[in-house]
Amino acid sequence: MLFNSLTYLSLLFFVVIFFWNLSGRSRFFLIFISSLTFYGFWKIEFIILLLFSTISDWLISHQIVKYENKIKKKFLLLSLIINLSLLFYFKYLIFFSENTFGLLNLMGFKLDPILLKIILPLGISFYTFQTISYTVDVYRKVIKPEKDFILYACYVTFFPQLVAGPILRAREVISQFKKKNNFKWDYITDGFRRVLYGLFLKVVLADNIAPLVNSGFDLSLETLSAIDVWTLAFLFGLQIYFDFSGYSHIALGSAKMIGISFPENFNFPYLANSPKDFWQRWHISLSSWVRDYIYLPLLGVKYQVSSKGGLANATLNKNDQKPLFITWGLMGLWHGANWTFILWGLYHSLIIFIFRKILIINQNLKIKVNSYFGWLLTLPLMMLSWIPFRAESISDTIKMWGKVINPLKYNSLNLNENVYLITFVLMLGVIMTSYIKNKIQNSKSLNVILINIGDTVLIALIFYLTFIFLRPINQFIYFQF
């Protein structure tokens, strides 16, 4: 079931109506059944896989707290084996099989590859990370295992974020389910606005940018100039931003309509002044998950629980760069079973590594770097990173990057002339939107009446455009992950 469809909006409408007219555990059963219905609209048979992952980690978490030391660790290992095995089979087995047979053939062994037909379950990367974080947090004593299975199942299967995040932590959501909030109109109005804004980003912006991106990347690489490559990198960067942040807005808004608050997943990432800042603004839930459950453990940081349930007094050995490259390689592989995604991850690790070294030099020389200079350096580097994310192969990526660094390739414009203007206007729109939002939030002298009138007109315009373009033609980009 796609967010950008009348089917989903109808489901959301009925869930919201029934939720606020139910009480107690009836609300949990409504959310659980609605979530399975939402997932079953894609392929009903994969509900069994989702339930298996949910049930196994719920049972294992209760065993973890019964024991100490080695036995406790064995149950955690069992959870990891189950989750990662399922993820490997459905998402990576074909990739590793093809590469293994390719390597053997290069070594002189003439073997026919095994043809595998495996359907990738929708959202498996997301709900697998959620169940892993749950058992790990129980193991670390950050949380206690939830006794009520239906309540726990609501956390794993909650339909607004089930197939593409945000990746939630149990302590962020389960406690909110338990609060039994009373109805407030603010939940409906605030949630509706977020859903509407998300639909606008998806169906009006992202889906109308997509044909321009597709036609550009379908052109022969020989015909593209360096300016064309830059334009396509920026244009796809804007498409995936509008697409994924649009999904996140719909997820946050849908949850808000039943009184559940998700942490923000995007915060104007293209205004970041460093790669680190970018990843504190882009897909924030994934970045923080990877930091807490992969990067810091690889650094040897022991999870010390603070009063807020997070890391306390962690000391990082930033001279050890191996965890950085390993983490980003895994981050790339998480996004897709393809060498282009691994290259994308390693590209980011290299950029972060270089910026770290520059920061050390600046600290030693006591040079103050203007934040605008940092932004001007970061933005093009982040946009170039989207080329392997969208290109068909590593060789295509290398050729496109090669044009960018070749001064002789800045010699022509081969895309439709409107593409350059559209890209510039959209990028300018992102910058201006961030500026206006900050101005409104930080200023105490702005006329409230004028703001409300402007806001009403804007909402009406967004509603009209969204209604015109709403059609479940294009699924969200991150559904493939």
The residues that are catalytic are: 335
Q: Which residue has the tokens 């593209």?
A: 224
29: left (phi over 0), alpha (psi -120 to 50) or beta: alpha
Max CA-CA distance within the chain?
76
Whole-number Cα distances in Å, 290 to 180, 234, 295, 309: 31, 26, 6, 17
Burial class (CB in 10 A: 0-12, 13-18, 19+), 445: exposed
CA dist., res. 291 & res. 366, Å (int): 29
In the chain, DSSP finds a helix count (H) and a strand count (E) of 21, 0
Angle between helices 124-139 and 170-178 (to 10 degrees): 90
DSSP, residue by residue, 102-115: HHHHHTT---PPPP
Burial class (CB in 10 A: 0-12, 13-18, 19+), 162: buried
CA dist., res. 48 & res. 254, Å (int): 25
Q: Which residue has the tokens 């997820």?
A: 251
Extract the runs of DSSP E, i.e. beta strands, from 125-234. none
Closest CA to 259 of 194, 190, 198: 190
Whole-number Cα distances in Å, 81 to 84, 157, 215: 5, 21, 42
Asked whether the beta carbons of 414 and 231 are under 8 A apart, the reply is: no
The amino acid at 23: S
